[in-house]
């Protein structure tokens, strides 16, 4: 067997680094509490609980964003085996199948790898046009792998 591998790594497009995210959150908190304090100083103290709720909601949204910012899929074709590793938040799954039995299924803007009655969706983090290209690349790689075994 050769040690040649074909690999695709598909990640989310994260436009903000953790430091930038923290700075944005801190600025939202500062501005919100400044406005809340200004209203409270004018006797409208009930604004402050709503500022707290707003900050909690933004914190929850940032938490969810941060939890999924590092999500990825890694598709590897090596030595006649297709391996798909998906990381989604704190959950990681791995799917393996022999490349000779693996087929690419594309339906309704989704791409699946299927073998032995099981299938897994791939390319979830790609735009529709790029998913179509991924399906073509996967089909070609599987054909090339099959030809190399002969």
pLDDT in tens, 62-99: 888 888 888 899 999 999 999 999 999 889 999 999 99
- Opening angle at CA 73, ends 82 and 115, nearest 5: 30
Q: What is the spatial order of strands in the sheet that 81-88 belongs to?
A: 5-11, 72-78, 81-88, 91-98
Question: Residue 51: which of 63, 40, 41, 61 has the closest Cα?
Answer: 40
Q: Is a pLDDT exceeding 70 seen at residue 3?
A: no
Query: Considering just the CA atoms, what is the radius of gyration of the chain in Å?
Result: 23
31-35, 71-75, 146-150: least confidently modelled range:
146-150
pLDDT in tens, 105-119: 998 889 999 999 999
CA dihedral in degrees (127, 85, 59, 23; nearest 10)? -80
pTM metric for this prediction: 0.75
């Amino acid at each position: 067997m050769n040690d040649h591998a074909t690999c695709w790594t598909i990640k989310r497009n994260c436009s903000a680094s953790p430091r930038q995210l923290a700075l944005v959150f801190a600025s939202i908190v500062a501005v919100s509490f400044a406005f809340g304090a200004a209203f409270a100083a004018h006797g409208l103290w009930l604004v402050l609980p709503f500022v707290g709720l707003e900050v909690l909601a933004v914190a929850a949204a940032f938490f969810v964003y941060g939890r999924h910012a590092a999500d990825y899929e890694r598709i590897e074709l090596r030595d006649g085996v297709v391996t798909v590793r998906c990381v989604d938040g704190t959950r990681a799954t791995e799917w393996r199948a022999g490349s000779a039995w693996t087929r690419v299924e594309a339906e309704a803007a989704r791409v699946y790898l299927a073998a032995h009655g099981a299938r897994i969706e791939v390319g979830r983090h790609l735009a529709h046009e790029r998913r179509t290209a991924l399906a073509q690349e996967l089909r070609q790689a599987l054909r090339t792998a099959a030809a190399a075994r002969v």
